[in-house]
Amino acid sequence: MLLKETKDKLLPTLKTYFGYDSFRDQQEQIVESVLTKNDNLVIMPTGGGKSICFQLPALLFNGLTLVISPLIALMKDQVDGLKANGILADFYNSSQEKFEQDEIFDKIYSKELKMLYVAPESLSFLQNILNETYISCIAIDEAHCISSWGHDFRPSYQQLGFLKNTLPNTPIIALTATADKATRADIIEQLNIPKATQFIASFDRKNIELEVRPANDRISQIIKFIEKQPKESGIIYCLSRKGTEQIANKLKQQGIKAAAYHAGLNFAERTKTQEDFIYDKTQVVCATIAFGMGIDKSNVRWVIHYNMPKNIEGYYQEIGRCGRDGLKANALLFHSYSDVIQLRKFMNGASNEEVQVAKLERIKQFSEATTCRRKILLSYFGELLAENCGNCDVCKNPPQLFNGTIIAQKALSVITRLKESEAIGTVIDVLRGAQNATILDKGYDKLKSHGVGKEISWRDWQQYIIQLINQGYCEIAFHKNNALHLTDFSKKVLFENEVVNLTKPIEYKEQPVVEKTT
């Protein structure tokens, strides 16, 4: 329990140092949980207000709050922002001179600091201060970086498990905007915080209309799209640096104020592009995913993915940059098989290639889906929507549905009989009564449900099961060899006669693989 004396300080501190009159959503509970020295895992979308969750407690603790962040480039800005609010904050990383680092140590020893931002690779230099007299709290930002199941794995994060061992009584608050269930479990395990309280905010951004279109003649589609809302600003994400420049040039030829942004530009150019965008001098930024982190512009009206994103986490984070003011916004994704092939090639030989490929497969399925896209996105993050959203292209233009309850029951009961241990291919083999080596070796031909779905072709089963996944009736466990697992919704189908609507499988027209010559 939090002392009343401390509780009474929360709102005044929020007002004095941050200028806000009230907490948003779960912020207050999180702050209280940190101050009572619980470990916490906070999952909140970008722009949700994660910073307050550790910055406010930092001001009320006696000692120092360490903020571990991978984004060295943003540390100075973040700290300058805090200092401007009168908060005793600083940062420590490898970009600093020795004398600057010494100054930081002096400030720590004389207890002049409330918050210190550090990169994980710099933690070893701070060993002398890593004891409970100095450190009151540890915040780990972008916590998904610790997990190779996440989409942005960073080896330097892997050592962070030692923090709990070294400082067992210091509360840890891990924060991230993007973590599926497996990643969440992995964060908790790797940070050694099994008792962490989990705060999972809703990821639903109802105001963003979702749309996927085939990638034919993208530039003219984009120009038409922009012409419909000629004053509104937006971001176009592309895979390559060259792509950003080419697209920006084509838009400029049409008289649209566009600029390219990628990591190959120098610092001054990037800063100028960012500022011109923030102050509405540039309407459209064509960017690689380097753009957007740390940009606080609430009236971005749309985000276009010129190329397919690598995974749903990245896609969701990027579309989250539009409509932060809560007003209507649009996210348009171009679906292209050649992009999928390209991305697949990038993944060759990656340390977690298998996970990356499975995630790519999910975003491909999302693009091809014939069910509410928001349901798919949210169920990916473990949030189940009961109703279709009404604000995506599928909801607005629904395909023909039929009652697929029996099909769903068959698939889910096979998954149950297989004890949730097999991936989609084997599940379909069992449904279809296959007699191949795997099936016979494992004795699956003896299961009662072996062959219950003989009448449906392999391809159709594949599409039906993807529809079931997309609707949240089952899920892929990436961390367990992609085995199909049941969800809370499965029970409704198996035991409560819930009606499941499916769409007729689309005829499979895989486009020929055209190798690019350039």
Contact residues toward ligand ADP (CB under 6 A) are 20, 23-24, 27, 44, 46-52, 296
Tokens of 2: 């939090």
Q: Which of 318, 314, 292 is nearest to 303 (CA)?
A: 318
Identity of the amino acid at 379: S
Instruction: Provide, rounded to whole angstroms, the least separation between the CB of residue 311 and ligand ADP.
Output: 19
Return the number of the residue (7 or 252) whose C-beta is nearest ligand ADP: 7
Return the number of the residue (139 or 222) whose C-beta is nearest ligand ADP: 139
Instruction: Provide, rounded to whole angstroms, the least separation between the CB of residue 239 and ligand ADP.
Output: 24
Return the number of the residue (32 or 460) whose C-beta is nearest ligand ADP: 32
Dihedral angle computed from the Cα positions of residues 263, 49, 13 and 76, in that order, rounded to the nearest 10 degrees: -10
Q: Residue 480 binds which entry of Zn ion, ligand ADP, none, with Cβ cut-offs from 5 to 8 Å by kind?
A: none
Return the number of the residue (184 or 479) whose C-beta is nearest ligand ADP: 184
Spatial contact of 336 and 358, defined as CB atoms under 8 Å apart? no
Give the H or E element holding residue 214.
strand 208-214
Q: Residue 372 binds which entry of Zn ion, ligand ADP, none, with Cβ cut-offs from 5 to 8 Å by kind?
A: Zn ion
The torsion angles phi and psi of 309, rounded to 5 degrees, stand at -75, 165
Spatial contact of 333 and 364, defined as CB atoms under 8 Å apart? no
Distance CA 109, CA 66 (A): 14
Q: Residue 49 binds which entry of ligand ADP, Zn ion, none, with Cβ cut-offs from 5 to 8 Å by kind?
A: ligand ADP
Return the number of the residue (208 or 258) whose C-beta is nearest Zn ion: 208
Instruction: Provide, rounded to whole angstroms, the least separation between the CB of residue 141 and ligand ADP.
Output: 8
Q: Residue 44 binds which entry of Zn ion, ligand ADP, none, with Cβ cut-offs from 5 to 8 Å by kind?
A: ligand ADP
Return the number of the residue (139 or 247) whose C-beta is nearest ligand ADP: 139
Q: Residue 277 binds which entry of Zn ion, ligand ADP, none, with Cβ cut-offs from 5 to 8 Å by kind?
A: none
Binding site for Zn ion (CB under 5 A): 372, 374, 388-389, 392, 395
Q: Residue 343 binds which entry of ligand ADP, Zn ion, none, with Cβ cut-offs from 5 to 8 Å by kind?
A: none
Instruction: Provide, rounded to whole angstroms, the least separation between the CB of residue 173 and ligand ADP.
Output: 12
Spatial contact of 426 and 444, defined as CB atoms under 8 Å apart? yes
Return the number of the residue (52 or 140) whose C-beta is nearest ligand ADP: 52
The torsion angles phi and psi of 267, rounded to 5 degrees, stand at -60, -45
Return the number of the residue (46 or 426) whose C-beta is nearest ligand ADP: 46
Give the H or E element holding residue 437.
helix 437-441
Q: Residue 47 binds which entry of ligand ADP, Zn ion, none, with Cβ cut-offs from 5 to 8 Å by kind?
A: ligand ADP
Spatial contact of 432 and 451, defined as CB atoms under 8 Å apart? yes
Return the number of the residue (153 or 203) whose C-beta is nearest ligand ADP: 203
Q: Residue 505 binds which entry of ligand ADP, Zn ion, none, with Cβ cut-offs from 5 to 8 Å by kind?
A: none
Q: Residue 359 binds which entry of ligand ADP, Zn ion, none, with Cβ cut-offs from 5 to 8 Å by kind?
A: none
Identity of the amino acid at 368: E
Return the number of the residue (49 or 161) whose C-beta is nearest ligand ADP: 49
Instruction: Provide, rounded to whole angstroms, the least separation between the CB of residue 375 and Zn ion.
Output: 7
Helix (H, G, I), strand (E, B) or coil at 286: strand
The count of other CB atoms within 10 Å of the CB of residue 296 is 9
Instruction: Provide, rounded to whole angstroms, the least separation between the CB of residue 19 and ligand ADP.
Output: 8
Spatial contact of 447 and 413, defined as CB atoms under 8 Å apart? no
Instruction: Provide, rounded to whole angstroms, the least separation between the CB of residue 230 and Zn ion.
Output: 27
First to last CA, the chain: 64
Treating both helix axes as pointing N-terminal to C-terminal, what angle do 405-417 and 458-470 enclose, rounded to 10 degrees? 90
Q: Which of 457, 470, 327, 483 is nearest to 394 (CA)?
A: 470
Distance CA 136, CA 105 (A): 16
Instruction: Provide, rounded to whole angstroms, the least separation between the CB of residue 372 and Zn ion.
Output: 3
Tokens of 431: 């449904």
Q: Residue 20 binds which entry of ligand ADP, Zn ion, none, with Cβ cut-offs from 5 to 8 Å by kind?
A: ligand ADP
Instruction: Provide, rounded to whole angstroms, the least separation between the CB of residue 45 and ligand ADP.
Output: 7
Residue count of the chain: 518
Instruction: Provide, rounded to whole angstroms, the least separation between the CB of residue 168 and Zn ion.
Output: 46
Say which residues have a Cβ less than 8 Å from residue 268's Cβ, sequence separation at least 6: none
Distance CA 164, CA 501 (A): 48
